Structure 1
Amino acid sequence: MDEIRIADGGLEISVSRQGGAIRSATFHGRAVLQPRGGPDGGMASFPLVPFGNRVEYNVMTVQGRDYSFQPNTDDPLHLHGDGWLGLWNVQAQDERSLTLSYEHEAGRVSPYRYSASQGFSVSDCRFENVLSVTNRGDTSMPFGLGFHPFFPLTPNVTLLAPASRLWTERQGYLPDAPVAIPEELDFSTPRPVPDRWINNAFEGWSGAASIRWPELDLVAKIEMDGIFGNYMIYTPGNADFFCFEPMSHLPNGHHMRDFGGLVLLAPGESLAGRMTISLSAAGI
């Protein structure tokens, strides 16, 4: 596996060209991200580009034109776009930063043609992950961005991430309907993440969140650029991780009004967003 390490102070991150994924992230020896995802189960965070989550029926209609997808994993629906499954190229690197690029051509599996880039940087107690995409196709297409990190699910972990409403889940792991957020999942104040099946989208989010692990004496403060007004929470239950996934759009946005937040990019247009995670001791 072609992995690249960047580090500063007590913060160390290992990034793989395969999937453009973070394979590990530690802060003074404590795991900030868990390697639990991706095709081999070894990804600790991966990029969502040119969109996140599933495309219902493996089809979409854009400006009166129909497009089709093929499954790209064992799931029957096309999942998380292409970036997390592709091989990225190194554009620049030093001890504390790394830039990767990825080119995708339209084909049978996906109708998207685009260029993507990722920047990773660490500075003592914080790291940044910048993701961008440019439409290289000859027609306008709906694009979105997101990040899919896997955080440790400890008995006393709490999450703070205020949102306005939640989407219930229906068959096929797809969003069903927007509802008021139930108390158990209302993270407008710090609340434990339930250790059960959760696979829900939240919207109306400011882009700020905080995760606290008393057992690890660790706090992660998450700050997102303004395009990220939604997030997903996923955990299968009886697991040692949960996913908190900032997204610029809602899952299955291809079948929602106004594409659920997906941005219609004309040929040559771009979309970019940044995730910043700042780390400190839990007592601070």
Structure 2
Amino acid sequence: MREASLHPSAADPATDLQIDDPSLVVLSIGNTTLVVAPEVGGSIAAYFDVVREPTSQRVLHWLRPATRAALAARDPLRMASFPLFPYCNRIRDARFEFGGRTIDLGGDGNGYAHALHGHAWRRPWRIGARTATSVELHFEHVPNADAPGDWPFHYRASQRIELLGDALRVTLAVQSLSESPMPFGMGHHPYYPRTSNTVITAHVEAMWHADAHVLPTHLGPHGAVDALRHGMSADAFELDNNFSGWTRSATIAWPDERRSVTLTAAAPFDHLVVFAPANDVQLCVEPVTNTTDCFNANDGARQRAGYRVLQPGETLSAELNWTPQRD
């Protein structure tokens, strides 16, 4: 884990992130700082503690921090975490059947053959109420029938992002404003610092195996299921998979640094994604309400996949918490 001196108005030499950029919202309490990038998909750009020592100080990042270049490029995939609305992960061939019609999401600028992560992560969010330790972000999608691939349902989403001491809480909420039922899913996509000693612990029951397009084929056993329960090295398996039967708690630990962060989630964040590619620095442990491609799941698999439909006017809200610990 890289360490660096940092002052709230200066750059973090470990990331080149200039946190006094006026486009950012900086929250702080005690030695903890959270940096939010509303214009970059309502993303979190950094979440860290400054450890002050007699003659120096060092930075402990709980999420992988963004860089100045990532912010300049407005690239959510290089942020610390970003929201997922109105579905999580991929949809096969960017299309599915719903309400007796084909919903075709191709051509909306996603850039992926299989539509990825919804669209809210690629749009700016509006800043709402704000304090020294919290900020509310708002996003509203009004469908445009003339825009190719546009999501054809009207909805409003929000995030309340706050520091509670050194812990981070994110409350995601949505309201359907459509006149007809709307298929829906949400989540957050956090990246964590990955070292040769990073360990992930989570109680899960089974893994969705996937094809070459990272689309699920079947739910079943895998060595990662038992490994996660006992503390799995981030390098143990090459993973980009959904897990079911998650107890809504996962810990990412750096034992050699004597520290960890625990993610806890409320229902309906009943599914967990672990993205740990081989020979790569990326690591994601994602809380989501639905598995990949759940809108195309057959009737028998829909409940297991987290398939959900919001009725006109229906609202849904649930919180996520990240709690750091240092020995």
* Residue among 15, 24, 34 paired with 1:13: 34
Pair 1:147–1:183, CA change in 2 (3 A): closer
Q: Aligned partners of 2:224 and 2:88: how far apart in 1?
A: 26
Amino acid at match of 2:80: A
Q: Aligned partners of 1:55 and 1:228: how far apart in 2?
A: 19
Amino acid at match of 1:89: R
The 5 A counterparts of 1:231-270 are: 231-256=272-297, 257=299, 258=302, 260-270=305-315
Query: Which structure's relative contact order is higher, taking Cα pairs within 8 Å and 6+ residues apart?
Result: 1
Pair 1:40–1:149, CA change in 2 (3 A): closer
| Residues 1:31 and 2:31 aligned together | no
Q: Aligned partners of 1:195 and 1:3: how far apart in 2?
A: 36
Contact 2:129-2:136 at 8 Å conserved across structures: yes
Identity in percent:
24
Q: Aligned partners of 2:190 and 2:133: how far apart in 1?
A: 20
Please report the RMSD computed on the Cα atoms of aligned residues, expressed in angstroms: 1.9
Corresponding residue for residue 100 of structure 2: 64
CA displacement 1:3-52 (0-9 Å, x = unmatched): 10001122211001120000111123211111468836531100011111
Amino acid at match of 1:201: N
Q: CA deviation at 1:183?
A: 4.7
Corresponding residue for residue 22 of structure 1: 44
- Greater strand percent: which structure? 1
SS of 1:268's partner is coil
Amino acid at match of 2:35: S
SS of 1:95's partner is coil
* Residue among 100, 106, 116 paired with 1:79: 116
Which has the greater radius of gyration?
A: 2
CA displacement 1:77-97 (0-9 Å, x = unmatched): 211011111110011111100
* Residue among 129, 139, 152 paired with 1:102: 139
Amino acid at match of 2:42: G
How many residue pairs align between the two structures?
Answer: 282
Corresponding residue for residue 170 of structure 1: 211
Q: Aligned partners of 2:225 and 2:267: how far apart in 1?
A: 27
Corresponding residue for residue 81 of structure 2: 45
Q: Aligned partners of 2:135 and 2:173: how far apart in 1?
A: 14
| Residues 1:279 and 2:324 aligned together | yes
Amino acid at match of 2:307: L
Q: Aligned partners of 2:93 and 2:113: how far apart in 1?
A: 9
Q: Aligned partners of 2:95 and 2:110: how far apart in 1?
A: 16
CA displacement 1:198-227 (0-9 Å, x = unmatched): 211101101011111123332111110021
Contact 1:154-1:215 at 8 Å conserved across structures: no
Corresponding residue for residue 231 of structure 2: 190
Q: Aligned partners of 1:142 and 1:40: how far apart in 2?
A: 24
Corresponding residue for residue 244 of structure 2: 203
Amino acid at match of 2:306: G
Contact 2:28-2:34 at 8 Å conserved across structures: yes
Give 5+ residue unaligned stretches, structure 2: 1-20, 51-58
Amino acid at match of 2:24: E
Q: Aligned partners of 1:20 and 1:209: how far apart in 2?
A: 23
CA displacement 1:248-267 (0-9 Å, x = unmatched): 11110001133621321011
Amino acid at match of 1:176: T
Higher mean C-alpha deviation, range 214-223 or range 86-95: 214-223
Q: Aligned partners of 1:250 and 1:183: how far apart in 2?
A: 17
Give 5+ residue unaligned stretches, structure 1: none
Q: Aligned partners of 1:255 and 1:208: how far apart in 2?
A: 27
Contact 2:272-2:285 at 8 Å conserved across structures: yes
Q: Aligned partners of 2:273 and 2:224: how far apart in 1?
A: 17
